[in-house]
Amino acid sequence: MAEEKLPTRAQDFSEWYNQLVLKAQLADYAPVRGCMIVRPYGWALWENIQQALDGRFKATGHQNVAFPLLIPKSFIEKEKHHVEGFSPELAVVTVGGGEVLAEPLILRPTSETIIGHMWSKWIQSYRDLPVLMNQWNSVVRWELRTKLFLRTLEFYWQEGHTAHATKQEAEDETRQMLDAYTDFAMNDAAIPVIPGKKSDAEKFAGADTTYSLEAMMGDCKALQFCTSHFLGQNFAQAFEVKYLDQKGQLQHCWTTSWGLSTRVIGAIIMVHGDDQGLVLPPKLAPYQVVIVPIFKNDEEKASVLGAAKELKTQLAKAQIRVTLDERDGQSPGWKFNDWEMRGVPVRVELGPKDVAKQAAVLARRDRPGREGKISVSLIDVPAAAGKLLGDIQQSMFDKALTFRRSNTHAAADYEEFKKAVETGFAFAGWCGGDDCEEKIKEETRATMRCIPLDQEAVLGPGGAVGSGNCVYCGQAAKERAIFARAY
């Protein structure tokens, strides 16, 4: 049976992505426009992402909670910038149980308002602080243009919410969680993100400061990986979240929020995928190893499957997530292609000759062909696979970092800038003016992604740093920022 081929990334990156998400059975379109169904393989990937992050959140003292999906509409109207930012994309419930509701309800687009409302009841004294919470849930934003994982009407995420006695503590929390996300992105997702600060025009509706991680996709466009917001006292004032300090004075709290969504699955697909399909980072892959048995007759089948099952047991004992492809009626070649498309990091090929030699062939997904294959004795497979998974994880990160740096250009003037954003990221001086940022966006479709916190890490040793002049108006620059077309 001939496999239907994906378009290559060079032919049509967008269509390559759309078809791959469906073909790899990560997700599917729902009956309601713009909604997404996450299928078991996609959800297993999300569960591994959740687990990796949840451990980091708990290690920094956060506790999980569950707030309701429905929020009184009046809540969203209490914070001026928040309502301006979210009103256009709210889903509103006006009828319940056949009755028109006295007050319309919204499906949460995020939970700052309802959490602020409850904190005003729960927080009385400095002894009640800090409050460190997180929730795993889904939210609804009525988006017009949607794409599976990247932008859907409903999506899954986590939202962290914290309240503090001092400004400094809340600012430290914002940065601490950005660091936790950075660690996850670099070490688990193998994505070399750029941590940075957003411009005022790009920050969260209701935040004083928004930080984000920005990543370069395989088509050189930017994707915002996650955000961490310092909310100042904006929500504490709107919802009267106050505490009595040690001197008996009533003070407003300082709050933060931070979130990461199923969007990062889109990032993993677009950063690491190739023309054959997904390439999943070993730390997050639902299956790290797939065993494909090879046989021609019943006799071979019995001996090969026996050895394959034993190998599966040994790999599982070594804490490796493994599956054995026993599907009938598909050739080994078809199975190789299928698992390659689904991005399993290591494939173990096991045929009658291998069993006779008490050996197996290990093939790494990130290096297709002969170059990525090694023969290992059966007894050594778990150790060899474990080592290989570590090598793959590192080499995927290195490859993505080289790609990002070679497609990021320090632009000295506007001509260079325009060329740079045609093919990747521009790293350029900016005067800090909203006008320049807006004009750049209008004329080049590139937005200000972030002001990198570590300027030297953008281009690596010897790369451009420092501010220079604003690439648009030529005046002295305040910052050197990343500009790019973005998802």
Q: Residue 469 Cβ, how far from Zn ion at the closest point, in Å?
A: 8
3-state helix, strand, coil in the chain (%, to 5): 40, 30, 35
Q: Residue 429 Cβ, how far from Zn ion at the closest point, in Å?
A: 8
Kindly state whether residue 431 participates in binding Zn ion, applying the rule CB under 5 A. Answer: yes
- Let me know: does 292 contact 307? Beta carbons within 8 Å: no
Residue from 72, 372, 433, 468 touching Zn ion (CB under 5 A): that is 433
Window contacting Zn ion (CB under 5 A); options: 255-263, 315-323, 335-343, 467-475: 467-475
C-beta closer to Zn ion: residue 322 or 436: 436
Q: Residue 473 Cβ, how far from Zn ion at the closest point, in Å?
A: 3
Q: Residue 483 Cβ, how far from Zn ion at the closest point, in Å?
A: 12
The 3-state DSSP class for residue 284 equals coil
Q: Residue 428 Cβ, how far from Zn ion at the closest point, in Å?
A: 10
Peptide bond connecting 130 to the previous residue in cis, omega within 30 degrees of 0: yes
Window contacting Zn ion (CB under 5 A); options: 340-348, 372-380, 416-424, 462-470: 462-470
Q: How many residues lie near Zn ion (CB under 5 A)?
A: 6
Residue from 290, 470, 482, 484 touching Zn ion (CB under 5 A): that is 470
Helix/strand/coil (H, E, C) string of 170-202? HHHHHHHHHHHHHHHHHHCCCCCCEEEECCHHH
Q: Residue 438 Cβ, how far from Zn ion at the closest point, in Å?
A: 11
C-beta closer to Zn ion: residue 428 or 436: 436
C-beta closer to Zn ion: residue 166 or 467: 467
Say which residues have a Cβ less than 8 Å from residue 156's Cβ, sequence separation at least 6: 38, 46, 136, 137, 138, 261, 262
465/234 Cα distance (integer angstroms): 34
Nearest residue to 178 (alpha-carbon basis) of 217, 229, 235, 132: 229
Q: Residue 480 Cβ, how far from Zn ion at the closest point, in Å?
A: 13
Sign of CA dihedral 105, 111, 117, 118: positive
Window contacting Zn ion (CB under 5 A); options: 4-12, 201-209, 349-357, 464-472: 464-472
C-beta closer to Zn ion: residue 184 or 430: 430
- Let me know: does 252 contact 236? Beta carbons within 8 Å: yes
Residue from 44, 118, 305, 473 touching Zn ion (CB under 5 A): that is 473
18/36 Cα distance (integer angstroms): 12
Kindly state whether residue 472 participates in binding Zn ion, applying the rule CB under 5 A. Answer: yes
Nearest residue to 159 (alpha-carbon basis) of 115, 223, 195, 197: 115
Window contacting Zn ion (CB under 5 A); options: 59-67, 174-182, 230-238, 431-439: 431-439
Kindly state whether residue 436 participates in binding Zn ion, applying the rule CB under 5 A. Answer: yes
Say which residues have a Cβ less than 8 Å from residue 120's Cβ, sequence separation at least 6: 239, 240, 241, 242
Window contacting Zn ion (CB under 5 A); options: 129-137, 160-168, 363-371, 426-434: 426-434
C-beta closer to Zn ion: residue 198 or 347: 198
C-beta closer to Zn ion: residue 426 or 436: 436
- Let me know: does 191 contact 400? Beta carbons within 8 Å: yes
92/425 Cα distance (integer angstroms): 38
Binding site for Zn ion (CB under 5 A): 431, 433, 436, 470, 472-473
